[in-house]
Amino acid sequence: MSVFSLKIDIADNRFYNGETSPLFSQKQAKAARQFHQKIAGYHPTPLCALDDLACLFGVKKILVKDESKRFGLNAFKMLGGAWAIACLLCEKYHLDIETLSFEQLKNAIGEKKMTFATTTDGNHGRGIAWAAQQLGQHAVIYMPKGSAQERVDAILNLGAECIVTDMNYDDTVRLTMQHAQQNGWEVVQDTAWEGYTKIPTWIMQGYATLADEAVEQMRALGVTPTHVLLQAGVGAMAGGVLGYLVDVYGPQNLHSIIVEPDKADCIYRSGVKGDIVNVGGDMATIMAGLACGEPNPLGWEILRNCATQFISCQDSVAALGMRVLGNPFGSDPHVISGESGAVGLGVLAAVHHHPQRQALMDKLALDKDAVVLVISTEGDTDVKHYREVVWEGKHPIAL
C-alpha cells in the first residue's frame, strides 16, 4: 500500500449538546418524500455497498448513496427545490399539499405564473429550473464567477434564464435578493438570513428524502450506521440530513463528520469557534457546490448541536474520492461522483493512505465494527473536469 499525506484538518465539536430540531424530524421528511413519490419518474436512488473497499479500509461496511440517479438531473438538489416551490405555490393559492400530486398541483395553478430566483453553484439552480419548468413557472438563476459552462447550459436547457456574475457565491446571493425585490420575484434560496427562514426550511426538509430512503435501504440490508460523512457548502443538506438521522438513531448513537474544502471551510471554522464564522474571497476550489463562505443559520444550529467532528480538506482529497469511486476495488459497484459528491469517500481513502493512519482512524472512531454512510451528492456535472481528474490525473496526490 502506498503512503501519502493529504491535508485533513479534524476539529472535535466542543459545543455538541445533542439537541435535535422538530423542524427536521422523521415526520417532516416523510411528508416531503410522500410528495416526491408522486412525481413521475420517482424511484429511490441506489445505496451502493462497497464491501471490498470496506474490508481494505478496515471497517465493517461502506455505503454510498448515489444521487447521480435522481430524476435524470445528476444530483440530489431538486428534492429541496421541488418541495419548497410546491409548498410556496400551495401557500399562495390556498391548496393542500398533502392531497395533491405534482401533476395535480400544476393543473390547480393553471395559467398563474410566478418567477423564482436563486443563486447556485450549479445543482441547486438546476433543481429550481427543473421544478419551475415542470410546473409551468419561470426561473432566473444567478451563478458566481468561474461557473462551468456545462453547468450553465444544463440550466438554460431547462428553460430558465441564467446569469453568471463576476462575484463569489455569497455576494451573488445578495445580488439575487436585490434583483428579486426590484422585479417582484420569489427568492428560493437554500440558505437563511434574518426574516428569511421559511423557504430554506422547506428546502432542507426536502433534502431529507434521500436520508429517509437511505434508512429504509439500510434496514433492508439489516445494518445500522455508526458513522455518516456529510459534505457542506452553506450546510443546508448536511443540516437537513443530519437532523433527520439523529431523530431516527439518536445523536449519541451516530458519529457524524462534516466535510468541507479548505478554501471555503466556514462550517469548520464555525465549529472551532462555536459561533458562525464567514469566509470571504474567491474560495477557489474544485468542489464548486461547496464553495460557500457563509453558513445557513438553520443548518448551522443542527450541526453545532449534533455533529461529532468537522473536517477541512484540500481539493486532492475530493479528486482521490472521485478516482476511487470511478475505479472500484474488487467486485464493488462503479459510482460516478463529481467533485462535491466524492469528498466524503475521499476522506476515508486519504485516511487509509496516511502515514498516521491508525491515529486518524482512532480519532474518527473508525474500526472493524464501523458502518459508514457516505452521500455522493452529484455525478459528473462537469464532464470535462471529471475526465481531467479521473482519466488524466488532475489534482494528484502529490503536494
Task: List the catalytic residues.
Answer: 77, 121
Alpha carbon dihedral 213, 214, 218, 224, in 10-degree steps, equals -130
DSSP label of 317: H
| Buried residues in 33-63 as b, exposed as e (16+ CB within 10 A) | bebbeebeeeebbbbbbbbebbbbbebbbbb
Who contacts 350 (Cβ-Cβ below 8 Å, separation ≥6)? 6, 8, 313, 317, 320
How far CA 54 is from CA of 61, 252, 328, 329, 371, in Å, comes to 5, 23, 11, 10, 9
Q: Are 296 and 200 in contact (CB under 8 A)?
A: yes
Cell of 210: 434521500
β-strand partners of 117 = 140, 187
Burial class (CB in 10 A: 0-12, 13-18, 19+), 17: exposed
Q: What angle do CA 111, 117, 122 make, to 5 degrees?
A: 120
Q: Are 384 and 341 in contact (CB under 8 A)?
A: no
Rounded Cα gap, residues 186 and 171, in angstroms: 18
How far CA 197 is from CA of 67, 258, 278, 337, 380, in Å, comes to 26, 22, 19, 31, 31
